[in-house]
Structure 1
Amino acid sequence: DYQKVPHALTVGANQSGKSMYQRNLISGLAKRPVGLVGIDCKRGVEQRGYAPRLSALAITPDEADGLLEALVGEMEERFDLLSSHGVPDMWGLPAKLRPVPLVVLVDEVAELFLVAVKKDEERRDRMVMRMIRLAQMARAVGIFLEVCGQRFGSDLGKGATALRAQLTGRVVHQVNDKQTAEMALGDIAPEAVFAATTIPPDRPGVAVAGDSSGGWSRIRTPAMTPAEAVAVCREFAHLTPHLAALAPFRPAVPAAPAPAVPLLKPRPVTE
């Protein structure tokens, strides 16, 4: 329920089940009347296949910078709409005026923080500031963050801790070190840290989920192949909303693969 837990952080080591978790999340959201926005700075290797159901996609840090700027602009326009109608959040608007909810899926958050040369620091600072603004304010206008990464500590740089504090939902898969589990769960459910550190490497998909209420549980993500998630996105592509602010980032939709044609024509067996 994004109205109760509007933003979330998912962490875990390689092959721990993070991608499987995100496939299930996207497949579930794709069937609902919401807009999906992807930020996958690994050149889109995880999210490009979901293009039929994405209202916007950024696959490089430069594109992510522009997309986050557009999202902040969309947020501010929605606040203007709330102000003009005298309501505190978009759920108080008449249904015909209510903007479509947006879920922003960040695949590897470290790619937004890490810079190779000093001249990229200004871009990094802009992106982090925009994400913090969205995390602090966008809940009221129906924009929600789902952030994913191997770890998300203060070592990523300025703004990391401030952003993490706003991501109230936490899902921790198998991790490489205790510090990662403490970083993700220690501030909301300290007793869950031990449960997270005891997840064995040979149990991908097992995770500990918690939120700011202090409650937590052990979960396991159902198995889902990339092809299955892509098929769901294609099936429900007609639900993809078009937003003018995000139009420059609307991904091209690849053609569906043609059915295989047998090289030999079968001949009936006759007696």
Structure 2
Amino acid sequence: MTFGVTLAALRVAVRYASVMDACGLTVPPARWRLSLARMTNRPVPESRAPRILRLRPTRTGLVLRIKLRPGQDAFDVASATDRLRHSFGMYGVTSRELRSGIVELRMTGYDVLRRVQMTAETGPAPMCIPVALREDGSVHYRDYRAVPHGLTLGATESGKSVYQRNLVAGLAAHDVALVGIDCKQGVELFPLARRFSALADNPDTALELLEALVQHMEDVYQLIRSAQRITVDVPDADIAADIWDLPADIRPTPVVVLVDEVAELALFATKDEEKRRDRIVTALVRLAQLGRASGIYLEICGQRFGSELGKGITMLRAQLTGRTAHRVNDESSANMAFGDIAPDAVLAAIQIPTDVPGIAVSGDSTGGWTRIRAPHTSLRQAVNICNRHADRTPDMPALAAFRPAVTPLASATAPLTKAAPTTA
């Protein structure tokens, strides 16, 4: 921050005009300037580069905001980012159009995905959690109010569990109820049980928990209807359509449902297990279709999520707007995540190296995608964060039967000596 950013800023400021000219990002002077030069017998004015609006240093590099000249396009800047990277001596350059005629260039001085250093900033809004760092150096947020439901795919040892721990650790400090379904006998989520309002470690309990959530969703909708009271004298802004429109004193607590391995809920071997599987998938689809307005958000994780898991799975996947894919074992797994929303992200997902676990590709239904990496968070660190915020765990009567039984936290003081065993 002291020397590297200063030298980079000076290099950009000194080379800016010549680099823009060499990269073809300049426009010829206006006609009136040429006419004025002829009439006054002066040299022909040089081509004009985009005007610099702001040059801001960041923890990972520089952010350059420029204003395009008439006749220029944001696509011209985006296609020249690789040449700008070499010319300015930066590790990476990405462009983003902020509005008409304004383009932002984010320059990184090193590989931010190799050495992830998250800033201490929090989410800009409620239910907005910083979980990872993007390849351009900006923070990647998981915004549940903008993208209610998400899907996270990844092979074994790809960093999927670390991403989930960062998500739980970020949600722990918010006023939200966490509900977990971990069919691996609870080895991933049960250590964090002090911050969870409900947990299930097998498909049978998961079915009962999901049906209880469906009933809770219906009760919340009845509360919203009773609070609407639409009359002529009620302003439009006071008409409630979801829980965030309700007054704070009667607003239900939002619920985030984390499913650790969705395939374990969809697999079956007998007729009874098939009936259970159909009821589970039906409940998940109902929560995905109707849960947003009632404050229920889904975060589903798995290694594969395709049609081979049975009927209803593709319908569920269509409701999961946010997609995150870690390293996968085959191209079809990447197609399950991005084939229907961002085909360009499929190639990026299958090119994730095996020696850098945690790198992922994140995209949504808009077609945009970016490479991200969550900081390494050990299970011990996540447990400490959940224990620290255990007092925020809401008591929900609808989920009381699934509240995990935890032992009281050990006292801060411990005996300094240990009693010796008695001998006969």
Aligned residue identity for 1:189: A
Counterpart CA distance in 1 for 2:288 and 2:267 is 20
Within the candidate set 14, 22, 26, 2:168 is matched to 26
Deviations 1:199-226 (A, max 9, x none): 0111100000011121111001100100
Within the candidate set 174, 181, 198, 2:327 is matched to 174
Shift of 1:116: 2.3
Counterpart CA distance in 2 for 1:255 and 1:193 is 47
- Give the corresponding residue for 2:179: 37
Aligned residue identity for 2:319: Q
Shift of 1:158: 1.0
Counterpart CA distance in 2 for 1:188 and 1:256 is 46
- Give the corresponding residue for 2:249: 96
Deviations 1:165-212 (A, max 9, x none): 101001100000000001101111111111101001111000000111
Counterpart CA distance in 1 for 2:364 and 2:408 is 40
Alignment gaps of 5+ in structure 2: 1-142, 229-239, 419-424
- Give the corresponding residue for 1:230: 383
- The CA RMSD over aligned residues, in Å, is 1.5
Higher radius of gyration, 1 or 2? 2
Aligned residue identity for 1:44: G
- Give the corresponding residue for 1:268: none
Distance 1:115 1:258, change over 3 A: farther
Counterpart CA distance in 2 for 1:254 and 1:182 is 44
1:117 aligns with 2:259: no
Deviations 1:135-186 (A, max 9, x none): 0010001100000000100000111100011010011000000000011011
Whose strand proportion is higher, 1 or 2?
2
Query: Normalization by structure 1: what TM-score?
Result: 0.94
Aligned residue identity for 1:25: L
Deviations 1:214-241 (A, max 9, x none): 1111001100100100110100000000
- Give the corresponding residue for 1:190: 343
- Give the corresponding residue for 2:36: none
1:212 aligns with 2:365: yes
Counterpart CA distance in 2 for 1:83 and 1:166 is 24
Counterpart CA distance in 1 for 2:407 and 2:206 is 21
Query: Normalization by structure 2: what TM-score?
Result: 0.61
Shift of 1:257: 6.1
Shift of 1:254: 3.6
Counterpart CA distance in 2 for 1:122 and 1:257 is 43
Distance 1:68 1:257, change over 3 A: same
1:148 aligns with 2:301: yes
- Give the corresponding residue for 1:108: 261
May I ask how many residue pairs the two structures share in their alignment? 264
Counterpart CA distance in 1 for 2:415 and 2:170 is 32
1:50 aligns with 2:206: no
1:69 aligns with 2:211: yes
- Using the aligned pairs only, state the percent identity: 59
